[in-house]
Amino acid sequence: MQADTDGQFVVHNPWTAEVAFEVTSTGETRVDAIAREAKASFYQYLKTPGHRRAEWIQGAAAALERARGEIVEAMIAHIGKPRKAAEMEVKRSVAFITACAQHLHTLGGQLLPLDMVPAGAGSIGFARRVPYGVVAAVTPFNAPSNLLVQKLAPALATGNAVLIKPSLEGTRIAEMIAQAFIAGGVPEGLVRVVTGDRAEALALAAHRDVDLVTLTGGTAAGDALARAAGAKRFLGELGGNSPNIVAADADIEDAVKRIVPSSFEASGQQCISTQRIIVEAPVFDRFLDLFVEATKRLKIGDPAGAETDLGPVVSRRSADRIAAMIDDARALGARVISCGERRDCVIPPTIVVEPPAAARLIREEVFGPVVVVLRAADVDDAIRIANDCEFGLQGSCFTTSLATALRVSDEVRVGSLWINEASRFRLDNYPFGGMGRSGVGREGLPYALEEYTQLKFTGMRGV
């Protein structure tokens, strides 16, 4: 991706280095007009009944299914996502949109017993959930379909207007998805794409007609958008550095089988990709040997290939950043096992063994095909290592002990924890979100429907 001073951006295919497409930034002046138009559309359609909004969302799912092949090819060419991962992502997006329409009927309210307060005797009150208004949805490149519909579908289903500000690399895919929603029946004024980079995102967040800001992205970006948003509602699924604990009593072969793809598929470019593997000392050497052996079997190559496990990372800039983090760990004395050679944007699966606590790979989110393997004296030490990090998005623990599983569930500070499954595993019907510097708010159904609505009370005297 390359930018000039006139708001023109060139996005390159990370595998071939050819120009994939060009983006013209919306610009801050046009953002102002778009936000005002979105607020007008919100009021225009505010009284649309729920069954009609459900029809829109169901229609969007059908339209996205029709566009699935085109979107898959765009993912391969624009971000280098391997074909099988891209196909799975779009299929999941369609399923999520369908489920969103089905869950809309669960969004209820509450009748309140006002007569429990003396002054409320003879009155009734009720609370119901109402939309915020205009939602600014800022989305990343790495899952440009799924992470967008996780915001777009519930926000529209609950009656909001949505302004999408995708990553530069995800711009064309966002435009395809917006058109699918419009083709499915969503009024065009309720869903718009704002193109550009940081300036447009900040302008949306700060705009007086934007009522809620939602971001999936890095923690630094979350800080900047939250500051720009001010007092308005902010939802953030931010950075991660996922710990995966392997206890001494775990099924080691099964742990390896699950943690390898969690670490490296999609080139590790997922916020919940395994980054820190914390292994109890009695099984450390065995786990490491099996893990290295399994990693070397992964297929690296052209993302268009049906069997490719790892393609390139999204850009040369990202590849250079990841390589610098590996070099940092090596300079601090860590053992580095690289399962291949770097080629332009292709970073081979890399295993960094026992880097010191000062290493960037321990403190930061790598967002690449790199994991660290750390030795823990026992479960107490594993929990301490897992929590020695500002991030807390999702983690996992492999163990055959119910007591260990429950203890890790209680003590590891993450928003989601899996037992005997790796951290990158995610379902769309549980509350997903972070603790600490990993963000606020929850995605997943029916939780997202609540996040995009607020409670409104109505009281009636003398009824």
Q: Active-site residue numbers?
A: 237
* H-type alpha helices, 185-281: 198-206, 219-229, 252-264
CB-hemisphere CA count at 13 Å for 402?
0
Q: Which token pair is 445?
A: 């159904």
Mind giving me the DSSP string for 273-342?
SEEEEEEEGGGHHHHHHHHHHHHTTS-BS-TTSTT-SB---S-HHHHHHHHHHHHHHHHTT-EEEESS--
Residue 290 contacts residue 254 (beta carbons within 8 Å): no
DSSP 3-state assignment of 420? coil
Task: Name the DSSP letter for residue 413.
Answer: -
Q: Which token pair is 430?
A: 């549980």
- Only one residue has tokens 């953030």, namely 236
Residues in CB range of 296: below 8 A, 6 or more apart: 339
Mind giving me the DSSP string for 367-410?
-SSEEEEEEESSHHHHHHHHHSSSEESEEEEE-S-HHHHHHHHH
Considering only CA atoms, which of 391, 185, 379, 163 is closest in space to residue 276?
391
Cα–Cα dist 248/236, whole Å: 35
Considering only CA atoms, which of 386, 429, 444 is closest in space to residue 410?
386
Cα–Cα dist 132/43, whole Å: 11
Please count the other Cβ atoms lying within 10 Å of the Cβ belonging to residue 357: 10
Considering only CA atoms, which of 241, 182, 232 is closest in space to residue 35?
232
Considering only CA atoms, which of 386, 388, 408, 407 is closest in space to residue 397?
408
Cα–Cα dist 349/336, whole Å: 11
Rounded to the nearest 5 percent, the helix, strand and coil shares of the chain are 45, 25, 35
* H-type alpha helices, 80-193: 83-103, 146-157, 171-184
Cα–Cα dist 449/173, whole Å: 24
Cα–Cα dist 138/135, whole Å: 10
